[in-house]
Amino acid sequence: MKRPILIHPDPRLKKVCVPVADISDDLRILADDMLETMYAAPGIGLAAPQVGILQRVIALDCAKEGEGDARPLVMFNPAVISSSDETNVYEEGCLSIPEQYAEVTRPKEVEVEWMDRDGNAQRETFDGLWATCVQHEIDHLNGKLFIDYLKPLKRQMITRKMQKLKRERAREQ
Ligand code: K1U
Ligand code: ZN
């Protein structure tokens, strides 16, 4: 089932999410719903707080269209355990901040540990867009948005645009 995506500003997008204890059927349903919501958006990532669930769960698939198979990944309790000194600049977007993009500098490579949907521990090194996206999604779990890396004036401008968008959408209901 597709779930509605929260739009910034929303207090739930600023909260630090709690770790998941055991992988229950409810969490597996959440994982499936997050992938469905992400693909439908369309997006390459989604974090649970974006659908109003304040738990440490992210979904991502950065496989490029026409370059092999999709690779849907759901991570419970993901954590970056090491980062490269080398950085990468990527023009990021966010499904909670529609149609706004800005360059963000992040480590080029990150090693991430997480629990998969069967409760097994996983560890992998990501680079390129995968590295950017997994860091963006883990930031969501800590209440941090990509606009928090921008200068205050630019961040304020984007926030005002989103407030306007939310007012317009509320009027259309
Ligand atoms: O977390 C999110 O809001 C999802 C976000 C992930 C992301 C994008 C770019 C850099 C870092 C993280 C998105 O998916 S925005 C949409 C997007 O980038 C996209 C959509 C369709 C095709 C390709 C990209
Ligand atoms: Zn985002």
What pTM value is reported for the model? 0.97
Q: CA separation (Å) from 115 to 25, 63, 136?
A: 15, 21, 18
Closest ligand 1 atom, CA of 90? Answer: 10
68-90 residue pLDDT tens: 789 999 999 999 999 999 999 99
- Going from the Cα of 90 to the center of ligand 2, the distance in angstroms, rounded, reads 13
pLDDT at 65: 75
**Whether residue 137 lies in the annotated active site:** yes
Atom 1 in ligand 1: residue holding the nearest Cα: 46
Residue 14 has pLDDT above 90, yes or no: yes
Cα 138-142-146 angle, rounded to 5 deg: 65
Q: Which of 101, 96, 87 is nearest to 131 (CA)?
A: 87
Cα(8) to ligand 2 centroid in Å equals 10
Ligand 1, atom 22, lies closest to the CA of: 43
CA of 41 to the centre of ligand 1 (A): 9
